[in-house]
Copies of this chain bind each other. A is one copy, B any other.
């Protein structure tokens, strides 16, 4: 059968300019945890800076990357070693899984198929282990990762306002276990995602960001999507959601998961809808359940499930300016209205939990009624759903399932904190995961910026993960450049939040860059930038010569007006003055000794004035 081979499967590899991928070894467990080491010039007279690195082996100069083979699966052994899972044949792929795509348009299946694992019985979730007092390999990995080689840092500065978070000075495996046990953090880690480099999402860890990719019925191919995934994590995406809605959904997802070192999230209702020909009313529990198992077997780490869109909530949206803007939310609302009955996601929630805990798929409880405009922010529909999400989190926790809670959306600045406070109060401190929020509706084309403002603020207030927004939001599907812009913008928001919270790792990066700036170490400035390529290109636009990278000025002010240069002169002048004062003090000291010895040569100058 002729299938469409994913040709030109090239992705960006090699280190970020000025950095290299390094590892912290964990000999006891036999694994190593990656970091990005930013290389500084010897004149910096300070150690290289190690920063969190979500980019996977793709930025390791020594790694061999073969997209058709997928990444290595070291975690598979950790999972099996726990002895509580079994391999089984798994569900056979059905034509509807790929949207009944004609044979000549079918994306080739991923070349390898791993027999799926599932729990022999009960829960194989990180939460179940955590509650049983077990520190898993994943928790130890996360502890090392979040600890960020802080022993190498010049100093730890913890100036900040954390609004009641409990960020520790040092992250221990036991701390990670405790956070997961309480439900205050999750480690999205499907037992079938052996390629995963485990990470945590929680208010007391570094703020994380998610990048959305995925084809739509209108555009994109598998090569584009794998490339976008690798490109997104290269620049710092901590998780990636595959929001594909077109054909070939199953096969594209397989290519993505098998090549992803970060947790992959999906919205299973999208694929379920495709399976019933796009007719929301035709959705059934059976189709949805089958889709959950299909994706759980593939290794998807978290599912957005819009179980909070209840029938009685739907009328609350009737007078909104923008109605329901969540795709999943609108699908479920339509189903509820068409059948005039309660959502099957809500009614079957305990059954969903049974599936989630058998694979350790984390719940991302979807905010199907999030506001899609400033006018609709913090309204009755949004908050009614949030309360339902709080109830559902409790049920999930009863099943030892991991949970994060999704949040808005479009919210003006003065209503952002109320969102965080209500989420904390309502959802038992389950990690909050927000889209932006956008702080105004008037700038389509720049919604990465309208939303970065809200994202930075809500991250500061306690949101654990920020879902990026690209410049194409509301206008079209993001391309590669948009993905990068979205990721860098959200790394800014997340880091600004970490700084304001007083996270122990945050300030070191800012200070290292500022020292480089003050000392005219241009190359170090570029290397320390979130996006070294762009920083260097902008500099070189006006001063392209190699010699200018050693210059004690830039084109912004030119040499005469460079305040930094003048500052150095001021410092030199001050040092000379100090030296002179010391010399004078030396004289004074001698005189003092002379006086103490009984002599009296100098008159007391101050007394004379």
Is A521 interfacial (CB-CB < 8 Å)?
Answer: no
Q: When chains A and B are docked, how far (Å) is the Cα of A412 from the Cα of B517?
A: 18
Binds B, one of A169-177, A568-576, A595-603: A568-576
* A332-353 near B? 1/0 per residue, CB < 8 Å: 0110011010000000000000
Q: When chains A and B are docked, how far (Å) is the Cα of A243 from the Cα of B515?
A: 26
Q: For chain A, which range describes its interface: under 10, 10 to 19, 20 to 34, or 35 or more residues?
A: 35 or more
Are B322 and A270 in contact, CB atoms less than 8 angstroms apart?
no
Contacts of A515 in B (CB 8 A): 321
Q: Given A216-B561, A564-B322, do A555 and B334 touch, yes or no (CB 8 Å)?
A: no
Partner of A441, one of B372, B510, B531: B510
Contacts of A325 in B (CB 8 A): 563-564, 567
Contacts of A489 in B (CB 8 A): 446, 449
Is A518 interfacial (CB-CB < 8 Å)?
Answer: yes
Binds B, one of A76-84, A199-207, A533-541: A533-541
Partner of A330, one of B471, B479, B563: B563
Is A142 interfacial (CB-CB < 8 Å)?
Answer: no
Q: When chains A and B are docked, how far (Å) is the Cα of A245 from the Cα of B563?
A: 13
Within 8 A of B (CB), among A441-479: 441-446, 448-450, 452-453, 456-457, 460, 471-477, 479
Is A500 interfacial (CB-CB < 8 Å)?
Answer: yes
Contacts of A74 in B (CB 8 A): none
Are B567 and A324 in contact, CB atoms less than 8 angstroms apart?
yes
> Which of A338, A372, A514, A556 is the most central at the interface, judged by chain B CB atoms within 10 Å of its CB?
A556
Closest to A502 in B: B414
Partner of A446, one of B414, B514, B530: B530
Q: When chains A and B are docked, how far (Å) is the Cα of A471 from the Cα of B534?
A: 10
Are B476 and A327 in contact, CB atoms less than 8 angstroms apart?
no
Q: Given A476-B555, A538-B475, A542-B218, do A513 and B441 touch, yes or no (CB 8 Å)?
A: yes
Contacts of A507 in B (CB 8 A): 374-375
Is A196 interfacial (CB-CB < 8 Å)?
Answer: no
Are B560 and A511 in contact, CB atoms less than 8 angstroms apart?
no
Binds B, one of A108-116, A126-134, A179-187, A491-499: A491-499
Contacts of A500 in B (CB 8 A): 412-414, 439
* A106-146 near B? 1/0 per residue, CB < 8 Å: 00000000000000000000000000000000000000000
Contacts of A558 in B (CB 8 A): 216-218, 245-246
Partner of A561, one of B327, B372, B502, B567: B327
Q: What is the minimal beta-carbon distance from A221 to any residue of chain B, in angstroms?
A: 14
Are B323 and A570 in contact, CB atoms less than 8 angstroms apart?
yes
Q: What is the minimal beta-carbon distance from A305 to any residue of chain B, in angstroms?
A: 16
Is A397 interfacial (CB-CB < 8 Å)?
Answer: no
Which residues of A are at the interface with B, using a C-beta cutoff of 8 A?
160-161, 216-219, 245-246, 270, 273, 278, 280, 314-315, 317-318, 321-327, 329-331, 333-334, 337-338, 340, 372-375, 410, 412-414, 439-446, 448-450, 452-453, 456-457, 460, 471-477, 479, 488-489, 491-493, 495-497, 499-502, 507, 509-511, 513-515, 517-518, 525-526, 528-531, 534-535, 537-539, 541-543, 554-564, 566-571, 573-574, 577
A-B complex: 6 closest residue pairs judged by Cβ atoms:
A323-B567, A373-B514, A217-B558, A330-B566, A413-B500, A445-B534
Given A318-B571, A471-B538, A473-B556, output 16 extra A-B contacts at Cβ < 8 Å.
A216-B555, A218-B558, A280-B566, A318-B574, A322-B514, A323-B518, A323-B571, A330-B563, A372-B517, A442-B530, A444-B538, A452-B453, A453-B457, A472-B556, A476-B556, A477-B555
Q: List 16 A-B contacts (CB under 8 A).
A: A317-B567, A318-B571, A324-B567, A325-B564, A327-B566, A372-B514, A373-B514, A413-B496, A414-B501, A441-B510, A441-B513, A446-B534, A453-B493, A473-B556, A475-B539, A476-B543
